[in-house]
Structure 1
Amino acid sequence: MEDIGFMCARCGGEVHDVTHNREGTLDGVGYRHNRRVEPWDHELELAVGAPEQRDRTCDFCGCSGPRWLYYPTLDPDDTDIFEVELDTTHLSDDDTAVAVLNMLYPWYACDTCSVLVADRNVEQLIARALERTPVPEDGPVDEATVRARLTGSLSVFFTTRPGRPQPSRAL
């Protein structure tokens, strides 16, 4: 029997819950696509079911067959408190929570994005993501919001100072 859980009815993708905590209080719980950056072509349509298994893609640009894996260098289990410099300019609370979650999981990269990561070229990473997946004119968010989301997620990625990538085929 397949595992039943939360999914997006629109794209069939896996969904995870996001808690909003401020100073020791629970402000709320939300649900987001289980991707590095919330998709900008559609809003989440929460449903219960078996999410579709997807082939691994580059977490930076979305192309198939990523060959590199970056493990986070921060381990929140090692300490009760850890700090990350996060550029939350123009990010909603939901987007900020998703950006913070990004530090807990490894990131996959294609060859091109791996070179851009090594060069710490945030602008080119954002340009590549938008070139491969343009923001639809009639979509739920505008390009400025998408750029803010990408900047927030990438600021977490670079702040956690990932080491050298590992070949993803070794997994």
Structure 2
Amino acid sequence: MVDLSVGIQRRGAVDVGIGAGETGLTIATTGLGGIVGAMVARPMAARLGSARAVLLDKAGLAPTGLLIPLTDRGAGLALFVLGGVVIIAGVVAGNVVFSGFIQTYVPGELMGRVTSSVQLVNFGAMPLGGVLAGRTGRCVHRPHGVVGDDDRVCAEWPDPIGQPPAPPA
């Protein structure tokens, strides 16, 4: 969620050109997705089943994040808020359902091992996601990966396949 928040700040303040107050209000509004996600998690799991609910929450709702780049001043901020609220709601609801599933089916004496294994897989996938994002950015002719929240702090992404980087355009 931190990456989403940094992207939101940059998108709002720099790309769209809204002020700090509007950016803060927009980010605070997207936080309502956490409340919505917590409220709908149990009824969704009861209706769909825990596996389908987690898949819908984590993967099915992610494409609404494509609304965020469509953000513009005025009414265009609604696209940003909608995309952010739905993504955050999906993540929170998926985490609630998945945690409930683990607590229901895992014996108490194995809970620590299972929880740490789940966290290992979860956090272990993040570097892979970063490499894939850098590779994807390179495929769309953006040879630099943003290290910080500003384009002034960039680093050349190494190619995971070992090919030399493409010359800048």
Q: Shorter-chain-normalised TM-score: which range?
A: under 0.3
Q: Report 1 or 2 for greater relative contact order, CA contacts < 8 Å, sequence distance ≥ 6.
A: 1
Q: Which is helix-richer, 1 or 2?
A: 2
Query: So what's the TM-score if we normalise by structure 1?
Result: 0.27
Structure 1 or 2, whichever has the larger Rg, is: 2
